[in-house]
A and B are shown apart, each in its own frame.
Chain A
Amino acid sequence: AQTVTQSQPEMSVQEAETVTLSCTYDTSESDYYLFWYKQPPSRQMILVIRQEAYKQQNATENRFSVNFQKAAKSFSLKISDSQLGDAAMYFCAYRSASTGNQFYFGTGTSLTVIP
């Protein structure tokens, strides 16, 4: 089974600053999808951004962007101009494009935004 590793259990950032959350994954496949989900205190899982492995261009959604390094199997999330509402648990997830429909989640990074 694929594994997804988030090596930073907790991170903090000053409001309006930039923070990067790390994610690495282990796979032998060439075609797959990667996701970042946000879980605020409300417990809702909210999709932040997705990346298709066949695309070289890094995905961007407003203040959120990724640094996708396929050879290194790295998928980090950059949050620019951090806001108080960004405080949450962030989960990295992997899904194969060909073998079944299972998502593999990392253990999460808890992000604190300091006013």
Chain B
Amino acid sequence: DADVTQTPRNRITKTGKRIMLECSQTKGHDRMYWYRQDPGLGLRLIYYSFDVKDINKGEISDGYSVSRQAQAKFSLSLESAIPNQTALYFCATSDPRLRAGRQETQYFGPGTRLLVL
């Protein structure tokens, strides 16, 4: 089974709708991240969380909110979706307790493809 899972894998929604993308991990990592991927722009950080009480904005947080319900769960919400939020969204985890050389590595989920009409 995958260590980092995302649901749904694909989603089509309409402008103005509220949607939630969910991420779960079984790796036991404290740190979790949400990225979006756009063609020609690579991955950009939306939000990240170092633990359930620590949530931080990333490079492009406007229009998004997050919730860290537990160590293993980190949800991304679009309160009122707009077409330019059409993208591929990735959740990732990392663990600073891992031995040197591995603690900085991020482990990614399979991605959620979102289309906003």
B68 within 8 Å of A by Cβ? no
In the complex the two chains form, what is the Cα distance from A33 to B96 in whole Å? Answer: 14
- Residues of B near A47 (CB, < 8 A) are 105-107
Residue from the list B105, B110, B113 in contact with A50, Cβ < 8 A? B105
Q: Using a CB-CB cutoff of 8 Å, which residues 55-74 of chain A contact chain B?
A: none
In the complex the two chains form, what is the Cα distance from A45 to B44 in whole Å? Answer: 14
Nearest B residue (CB) for A44: B110
A35 within 8 Å of B by Cβ? yes
- Residues of B near A95 (CB, < 8 A) are 104
Min Cβ gap B88→A in Å is 7
Contact flags B97-114 to A (C-beta < 8 A → 1, else 0)? 000110011111011010
**For the complex, would chain B's binding face be called helix, strand, loop or mixed by DSSP majority?**
strand
A52 within 8 Å of B by Cβ? yes
Question: Do B42 and A103 touch across chains, with their CB atoms under 8 A apart?
Answer: no
Residue from the list A91, A103, A107 in contact with B40, Cβ < 8 A? A107
B43 within 8 Å of A by Cβ? yes
Residue from the list A33, A91, A101 in contact with B43, Cβ < 8 A? A91
Nearest B residue (CB) for A32: B104
Known: A43-B111, A50-B104, A52-B101. A101 touches B50 (CB 8 A): yes
B74 within 8 Å of A by Cβ? no
Pick 13 A–B contacts, CB within 8 A, sort by A: A43-B88, A43-B110, A44-B108, A44-B110, A45-B43, A45-B90, A45-B111, A50-B101, A101-B48, A102-B45, A102-B59, A103-B33, A105-B43
Interface residues of B (CB under 8 A from A): 31, 33, 40-45, 48, 50, 58-59, 88, 90, 92, 94, 100-101, 104-108, 110-111, 113
Interface residues of A (CB under 8 A from B): 1, 4, 9, 33, 35, 37, 42-47, 50, 52, 91, 95, 97, 101-103, 105-108
**Seed contacts A1-B59, A45-B108, A101-B48; 20 additional CB < 8 Å A-B pairs:** A9-B40, A43-B88, A43-B110, A44-B108, A44-B110, A45-B90, A45-B92, A45-B111, A46-B108, A50-B101, A50-B104, A52-B100, A52-B101, A97-B104, A101-B31, A101-B50, A102-B59, A103-B33, A103-B45, A105-B42
